[in-house]
């Protein structure tokens, strides 16, 4: 068994996943870099983690596929003899807006739920024996969409609400051996948003949120990664929490209006 801790971060080729993997590598973890399509970016993420001192595994796997999840976990356990943390970051959506329901079909729901909900369940189920042995931690990367009921599409909102409920269920079911929490970011300055809604709409939304959020900013991938890593490394008495990372947007316009002008 490796003396170093190890972590699996799904969807870690870019964005929050890549930032989390790198942050864990800098804290002494060996890491699995997982991807489905972004092979070049995944190799760059792996290289950054190796440069930070981590041993790495670069594994292509669609988390919606239970067999692929089991194989991914087995590869990590065989390599390091332990799994200390699981970050369920892989996620997909379709950007259709809140009223364009006719653009949605069963296939869209199935794919989004498959990755965002079934994928998290598949990974947790495969990892549980190893996480229990290590007194480990799970962090699900959810969204404020699952709390507020508004987001990029109806199936995405539904999937994140389900992921939040799963977080609470797993926190109860796996205590006291494994802590389970979720982070729920609002807008993040990553390509996921810019490619999804287009550069012009992205800049407009970003400016709007910077004006209206009580903290006057939107999150970076590194902001979210810091919260994920704290829940893994530092939050020894925290489980079953849904941590909102939206600069206070969920507090509403009354609080935002009270923020002093800059």
**Predicted confidence (pLDDT) per residue in 54-109, tens digit:** 999 999 999 999 999 999 999 999 999 999 999 999 998 776 766 666 777 888 88
pLDDT at 29: 98
Please, which residues have CB within 8 angstroms of residue 102's CB and are 6 or more apart in sequence?
none
Which stretch of 169-173, 214-218, 242-246 has the lowest confidence by average pLDDT? 214-218
Please state, in angstroms and rounded to a whole number, the distance separating the CA atoms of residues 91 and 63.
Answer: 9
Give the mean pLDDT of 162-187: 96
- Are the C-beta atoms of 156 and 95 separated by less than 8 Å? no
pLDDT of 256:
43
- Count how many residues are written for the chain: 262
Q: Furthest-apart CA pair in the chain: how many Å?
A: 55
Rounded CA separation 70/117 (Å): 16
pLDDT at site 258: 46
pTM of the predicted structure, to 2 decimals: 0.90
As a whole number of angstroms, the distance between CA 28 and CA 31 comes to: 10
Domain ranges of the chain: 5-196+218-251
* Overall average pLDDT of the 32-36 stretch: 97
CA separation for the pair 170, 7 (Å, rounded)? 18
What residues are annotated to the active site? 156
Strand order of the sheet with strand 179-185? Answer: 56-60, 29-35, 5-9, 85-88, 137-141, 179-185, 242-245
Which CATH number is 5-196+218-251's, of 2.30.30.240, 3.30.43.10, 3.40.50.10360, 3.40.50.720? Answer: 3.40.50.720
Residue 132 pLDDT greater than 90, yes or no:
yes
Q: Which residues pair with 9 in a beta bridge?
A: 33, 87
What pLDDT was estimated at residue 158? Answer: 92
Whether the per-residue pLDDT at 255 is higher than 60: the answer is no
Assigned token pair, 13: 């080729």
How far apart, in whole angstroms, are the C-alpha atoms of residue 82 and residue 191?
33
CB 166 within 8 A of CB 121: yes
Identify the pLDDT of residue 249: 84
């Amino acid at each position: 068994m490796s003396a170093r801790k190890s972590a699996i971060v799904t969807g870690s080729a870019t964005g929050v996943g890549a930032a989390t993997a790198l942050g864990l590598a800098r804290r002494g973890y060996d890491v699995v870099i997982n991807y489905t399509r972004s092979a070049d970016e995944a190799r760059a993420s792996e290289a950054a983690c190796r440069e930070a001192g981590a041993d790495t595994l670069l594994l292509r796997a669609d988390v919606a596929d239970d067999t692929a999840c089991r194989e991914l976990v087995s590869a990590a356990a065989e390599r390091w003899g332990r799994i200390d943390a699981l970050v369920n970051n892989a996620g997909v959506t379709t950007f259709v807006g809140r009223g364009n329901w006719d653009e949605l079909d069963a296939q869209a729901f199935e794919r989004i739920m498959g990755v965002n909900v079934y994928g998290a369940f598949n990974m947790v189920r495969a990892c549980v024996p190893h996480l229990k042995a290590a007194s480990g931690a799970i962090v699900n990367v959810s969204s404020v969409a699952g709390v507020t009921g508004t987001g990029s599409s109806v199936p995405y909102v539904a999937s994140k609400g389900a992921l939040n409920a799963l977080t609470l269920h797993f926190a109860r079911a796996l205590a006291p051996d494994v802590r389970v929490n979720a982070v729920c970011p609002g807008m993040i300055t990553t390509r996921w948003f810019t490619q999804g809604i287009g550069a012009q709409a992205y800049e407009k939304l970003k400016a709007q949120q910077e004006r209206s959020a009580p903290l006057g900013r939107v999150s970076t991938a590194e902001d979210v990664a810091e919260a994920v890593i704290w829940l893994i490394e530092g939050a020894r008495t925290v489980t079953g929490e849904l941590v909102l990372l939206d600069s206070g947007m969920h507090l509403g316009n009354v609080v935002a209006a009270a923020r002093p002008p800059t």
